[in-house]
């Protein structure tokens, strides 16, 4: 039986592992990256560190099978990343700026991202200042846990005063796109690479 509970610092390794094992458009990206921590450093670690009130895990007897992580105020979160999170990583991972984009390895693409992070569009943040990531391992998918975890996060965000949440989903991750539409998100923008920004009022 799975239960949803607030995440704790002890869940950090599980979050990093699940992040990697779902990072290839929802599928396992373990074979894609040479450094197994890089994906988690970007998409999991800072959420647990800076927004623990909006981090929840799905757990059963076998351990943590998924998580949802969010932030209340994306702009403030991005400022904090600049001050307190990226500097340490930038000193450990070189900026591959001189490698042409088309020739970068998957690790180099992520290293470039942490040196040159994309900032959220202020026009999106005006109505939907919060954002989230959700990842469940295959054994936990398709049983309604994703919906329940989003509802848990939305309750926490609503109680903290958020008017709305946005997210970014890759163009190849059609399953997650269908899930988000089904639970009420609408598409706001699509990038040339096919990545979609979706929003939901709370
Ligand atoms: N199209 C239409 N409806 C769907 C789809 C789909 N592709 N997928 C699920 N649904 C529906 C379900 O039928 C269900 O409907 P109901 O509540 O009306 O009966 C509802 O959505 C909820 O489905 P859940 O079973 O809760 O979905 P699940 O637990 O599998 O969670 C998730 C979905 C989060 C995408 C999960 O499969 C997952 O973690 N996948 C791998 C990682 C991933 O891709 N994460 C998203 C990355 S993008 C980001 O985090 C911003």
Closest among 44, 46, 57 to 6, alpha carbons compared: 57
Give yes or no for residue 160 having a pLDDT over 90: yes
pLDDT value of position 9: 98
CATH code for position 78: 3.40.630.30
Q: Three-class SS of residue 85? A: helix
Of ligand 1's atoms, which has the minimum distance to the CA of residue 169?
A: 48
The set of protein residues with a Cβ atom below 6 angstroms from ligand 1 is 22, 26, 133-136, 141-147, 167-169, 173, 175-176, 178-179, 182-183
Query: Considering only CA atoms, which residue is closest to atom 29 of ligand 1?
Result: 146
Which CA distances in Å does 185 have to 10, 133, 159, 175? 31, 14, 20, 14
**How many domains, the chain?**
1
Of ligand 1's atoms, which has the minimum distance to the CA of residue 143?
A: 25
pTM above 0.90, yes or no: yes
- Model confidence at 82, pLDDT cuts 50, 70, 90, reads very high
- ipTM for the predicted complex comes to 0.99
Query: Considering only CA atoms, which residue is closest to atom 28 of ligand 1?
Result: 146
Closest among 47, 37, 27, 35 to 170, alpha carbons compared: 27
- Which residue range is the domain that position 180 belongs to? 3-201
The length of the chain, given as a count of residues: 202
Q: b or e along 53-77 (b: 16 or more beta carbons within 10 Å of the residue's beta carbon)? A: ebbbbbbeeeebbbbbbbbbbbeeb
Give yes or no for residue 1 having a pLDDT over 90: no
């Amino acid at each position: 039986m799975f239960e949803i509970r607030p995440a704790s610092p002890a869940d950090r390794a599980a979050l990093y592992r699940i992040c990697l094992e779902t990072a290839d458009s929802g599928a396992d990206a373990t074979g894609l990256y040479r450094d197994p921590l890089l994906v988690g450093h970007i998409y999991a670690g800072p959420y647990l560190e800076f927004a623990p009130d909006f981090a929840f895990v799905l757990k059963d007897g076998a351990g943590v099978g998924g998580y949802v992580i969010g932030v209340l105020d994306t702009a403030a979160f991005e400022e904090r990343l600049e001050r307190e999170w990226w500097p340490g990583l930038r000193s450990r991972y070189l900026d591959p700026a001189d490698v042409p984009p088309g020739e970068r390895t998957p690790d180099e693409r992520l290293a470039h991202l942490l040196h040159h992070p994309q900032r959220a569009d202020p026009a999106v943040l005006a109505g939907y200042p919060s954002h989230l990531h959700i990842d469940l391992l295959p054994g936990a998918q398709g049983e309604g846990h994703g919906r329940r975890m989003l509802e848990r996060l939305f309750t926490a965000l609503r109680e903290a005063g958020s008017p709305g949440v946005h997210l970014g989903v890759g163009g190849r991750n059609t399953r997650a796109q269908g899930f988000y539409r089904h639970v009420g998100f609408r598409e706001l923008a699509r990038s040339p690479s096919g990545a979609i920004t979706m929003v939901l009022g709370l």
